[in-house]
A and B are shown apart, each in its own frame.
Chain A
Amino acid sequence: MTAPALEVGGVSVHYGDVLALDRVSLMLDAGQVCGLIGINGSGKSTLFKTIMGLVRPDSGTVRIDGGTPSTARRAGLVGYVPQSEDVDWDFPISVRDVVMMGRYGRMGITRRPRGQDRDAVDSALERVELTAFAERQIGQLSGGQRKRAFVARGIAQGAGLLLLDEPFAGVDRRSEQTISRLLAELAADGRTVLVSTHDLAALPRLAERSIMLATRVLMHAPTAEVLRPENLARAFGLDPAEGAA
């Protein structure tokens, strides 16, 4: 039996006196897209940071592919798609250069790209259908294309675990569907995808299973079940129709 792609065991995180995560445990098998929902301040970002090793938990453990987060990072297993507001879209860098940054962990000390790196970047760009936009400055892409560029970076990196923080914010419905389809394909290849989102209406298309977080894990179940009104009421105090507005 192989190790789960991601295993979080009893993780608690404090910021000063504030409890951000309370004994969070969850397990993701390889080859699935998992949604992560919860109100602002429910700990979604902290959970991502803990998985990536940016925040050290006060207690509990994180295992990625059976190894420690730092081993997983050095092996290039963890791909990260940042929130839009965390990116400087005026940065003078092309789409191709951003995707190439996924390869840096596998390159020599000066990060000079070799043939295999260029091939990986080309095929990742093709995979997310951005080949024609490769030479554009990153800010000259639409909201959905920007997200796909960062997903391509994770693909070029060869990441087995992709973490996406609010990929649907500022993205139109058609792009949202394109991204959901892309993530499903990546999962079918054996990758594991964890996506935080506020967009409850998008969730059934996106993920078969979802996690509802409110400092602790309220539910980890099939998405349809998580989205039942009585369950949403526990986390949000509203129903899915309202949440989609």
Chain B
Amino acid sequence: MNPLDLLIEPLRYEFMVLALSATVLAAVVCALLSCWLVLVGWSLMGDAVSHAVLPGVVLAYVVGAPFALGALVFGLLAVVLIGVVRGTSRVKEDAAIGIVFTTLFALGLVLISVTPSQTDLNHIIFGNVLGVSLGDLLQIGVLGAVAFVLLVLKRRDLTLYSFDPVHAHAIGLSPRLLGALLLGTLALTAVVALQVVGVVLVVSMLIIPGATAYLLTDRFGRMLVIAPVVSALCSVAGIYLSYYLDTASGGMVVLAQGAVFALVYLFSPRHGVIGRGAAALRRRRLASAGG
């Protein structure tokens, strides 16, 4: 079988085409957002929001509303609750995040246990990208597009907010509003991604691509290109590998991203562990050869 056939063969199945489309879409939007999340230090917040949407999804299922709506409501609820607990008690932020998201996640698990048709809802936890329908794809397509456009249009303000919120305030912008925009798109994006990799692994799509790009460049503008491209490639690779190896597709996508991060962490020319060491070694060799 030639390599091209290896690529084309899975595409004969409609579910594979839908799976690939949904995964790439989620990967690109998540990766874009992840560039800001890793720089603001909101990785844990991404984890929190993606877990906290679970009860929203279950309730939406029960009343027959779109999953995305329930997820969005609970994602934002989680953000508000975290802010309230942190702002009105002596509990620090990381503890507030941990309390709120695990409690909401637990509520989701309990709701699943009392809701008939358990198989469907367990897919929300672990993802079921091979079961994505055309309707699902349209839904996450719309949400993903909204998040993508918002992020691209306001990218410079979001970068300012990440770098120096005090300056944003000093020139009359509202850091609070920009923070809210970032959190709102985080909730949207979590909804998009949880159909693909599930609640538990969404956070990887929201952190790994940004962190990988951060190790490759000193320019934020380039991060915004590198992260989505790398993430999309990892998604495609992950889906194909899962097809041929007959493994869990969501898990495979995240493994691919983790593997690429590991390579970059080691070999990135400027910020990789071995890359830095090799550069230092070359300099020393050059110096001793010259002397």
Which residue numbers of A lie inside 8 Å of B, CB to CB?
52-54, 70, 73-76, 78-80, 82, 86-88, 91-94, 97-98, 101-102, 104-105, 109-112, 137, 153, 157
State the main secondary structure of chain A at its contact with B: mixed
How far, in angstroms, from A70 to B162 measured CA to CA in the complex? Answer: 22
The residue on A at minimum CB distance from B160 is: A101
Q: A60 to nearest B CB, angstroms?
A: 20
When the two chains form the complex, which single residue of A70, A76, A92, A98 contacts B218, counting CB atoms closer than 8 Å?
A: A92
Report the count of interface residues on B (CB-CB < 8 A): 25
Please state if B214 and A92 are interface contacts (CB–CB under 8 Å): yes
When the two chains form the complex, which single residue of A54, A79, A87, A112 contacts B164, counting CB atoms closer than 8 Å?
A: A87
Question: Which 6 pairs of residues, A with B, have the shortest CB-CB distance?
Answer: A74-B172, A105-B171, A111-B156, A137-B218, A73-B172, A80-B170
The residue on A at minimum CB distance from B35 is: A92
Counting residue pairs across A and B whose Cβ atoms lie within 8 Å, the total is 74
Please state if A73 and B167 are interface contacts (CB–CB under 8 Å): no
Please state if A94 and B39 are interface contacts (CB–CB under 8 Å): no
Please state if B156 and A93 are interface contacts (CB–CB under 8 Å): no
How far, in angstroms, from A92 to B224 measured CA to CA in the complex? Answer: 11
Query: Which residues from chain A contact B168 at a C-beta distance below 8 Å?
Result: 104
Please state if B157 and A70 are interface contacts (CB–CB under 8 Å): no
How far, in angstroms, from A74 to B170 measured CA to CA in the complex? Answer: 8
Does B282 sit within 8 A of A, measured CB to CB?
no
Does B262 sit within 8 A of A, measured CB to CB?
no
When the two chains form the complex, which single residue of B162, B167, B223 contacts A80, counting CB atoms closer than 8 Å?
A: B167
When the two chains form the complex, which single residue of A86, A97, A104, A137 contacts B171, counting CB atoms closer than 8 Å?
A: A104
Please state if A102 and B171 are interface contacts (CB–CB under 8 Å): yes
The residue on A at minimum CB distance from B175 is: A54
Please state if A52 and B157 are interface contacts (CB–CB under 8 Å): no
When the two chains form the complex, which single residue of A74, A78, A88, A102 contacts B39, counting CB atoms closer than 8 Å?
A: A88
Query: Which residues from chain A contact B159 at a C-beta distance below 8 Å?
Result: 93
Known contacts A92-B214, A94-B219, A101-B163; A109 and B170 CB within 8 A of each other: no
